Amino acid sequence: MQSIKHPLSRFCSSIIPFAALAVLAGTVAAQDVRQALPAALSLELNYAGEALGTPDGGARHPQASKYRGNVELIIETDLSALGFWPGVVFHVRGEHGHGTGITDALPGAYQPASNIEAHDFTQVSEYWLGQAFYDGHAVLKLGKQDANNEFVAVEFASLLINGSFGATSVIPLPTFPHYGLGLSGVFHPMPSLKLAGGIYDGGGRGTTSGFDTAFDGHGGSFAIFELGVEPSFSTGAQRDNYRIGYWSHSANLAATDTFSGRTHESNYGVYAVVDKLLWLSGDARADDELTPTRALGAFLELAWAPAGRNEISRYLGTGLHLSALWLSRPDDRASIGVAYARISGNTGGGSETVIELTYSFALTPTLAVQPDLQYYVHPDGAHPSALVCAIRLGYSF
């Protein structure tokens, strides 16, 4: 039996001094720094570090443990405040990812156990110019972007760690860690209606500028369109969302029945997302002036793509999100989710299901620790079920 001390010691030695400093600093330092910044400049620093392990599951699922971390720095400048034309901003985000994910210890698993799992990298993940029109009712963005910020976003699933919630394995969305150069637009003809569309490099690599892959003739283009409805009684982050979308990818790809040698000239699919606020605490009002003390929300995500062109042809994700389970801890959050992926028959068939339970303890306004449990039911549709245990520490400045 392997020992889990090594990754946990890496986690503790990296995180504990950092956490102690953050607790001591509280929010005072952040407020001081922000006050010192020019009014046209905003700065955000986020860090997530996690230790993940699989208990001993026998010869086919040996015990494994890993550590993974991701840090990002976001700088946004209001160029109109610096003398440029009104409504224009410049956004840049740098990222550094390090460590090893746990999913390789789950033979054949399609749904990654962590949404920050990737190879080691240091990159400029995003850089784009944004232009607002019609008093902010319309926005265009040009540059290297994370498409998941505007498309296939599932707000009540945001606490869950598994990488299948939101940008599912069905949709080849230009998102972490491989963002894409592109043009996107969002238009709100009325407050409760959203129309959005984007076209991106279909073969982007996060570690490059985007220009080398956008015009190399290999990755094709990725286009996505989304219609969203947000009822007027929604409030802040606790809100209802109803979204449907269509995507297409123009690159040539091999059929999933690889023995046939066939190729397809394009790929496509559809999806639907629902974020539904189920309950607010009795003293809360559903308006923008008061953030609810306690709230319960549910989410549902459905996605489909043709089985002959995709390893995963159908996806269903659903779950619950609870804010402030205890009144004495108003910043704590809890969530449970279930993700079901249908594996195409040409790649073995069957299905893979992940059940996740997580709770985020707010230590300070900027620091939280989050234990997490995930149970994989038949990874790859055929392997024995497995349990993944994790603990994540997150810091936001």
- Give the DSSP per-residue string, 153-169: --GGGTT--STTSSS-T
Query: What are the residues whose beta carbons fall under 8 Å from the beta carbon of 85, sequence distance 6 or more?
Result: none
**Interatomic CA distance for residues 136 and 318, integer angstroms:** 32
**How far from 248 is each of 62, 154, 202, 210, 269, CA to CA, in Å?**
39, 20, 10, 19, 7
pLDDT at residue 59, as a whole number:
44
Predicted confidence (pLDDT) per residue in 190-199, tens digit:
988 999 999 9
**Interatomic CA distance for residues 155 and 163, integer angstroms:** 14
pLDDT at residue 90, as a whole number:
96
Q: Which of 70, 30, 18 is CA-nearest to residue 46?
A: 70
Residue 292 has pLDDT above 80, yes or no: no
For the chain, the straight-line distance linking the first and the last C-alpha, in angstroms and rounded, comes to 40
What type of residue is 247?
W
**Interatomic CA distance for residues 201 and 220, integer angstroms:** 7
pLDDT at residue 2, as a whole number:
41
Residue 104 has pLDDT above 60, yes or no: yes
Predicted confidence (pLDDT) per residue in 143-199, tens digit:
999 999 999 999 999 999 999 998 888 999 999 999 999 999 999 999 889 999 999
Q: How many Cβ atoms are within 10 Å of 225's Cβ, its own excluded?
A: 15
Domains and CATH numbers, the chain: 5-396 (2.40.160.180)
Tell me phi and psi for residue 362, to 5 degrees: -80, 110
Q: How many Cβ atoms are within 10 Å of 91's Cβ, its own excluded?
A: 18
Mean pLDDT of the chain: 83
When computed from its CA atoms, the radius of gyration of the chain, rounded to whole angstroms, is 21
- % residues pLDDT > 70 (the chain): 79
Secondary structure element (H or E) that encloses residue 112, with its range? none
Please state the pTM of the whole predicted model: 0.85
Confidence of residue 107 (pLDDT cuts 50, 70, 90): confident
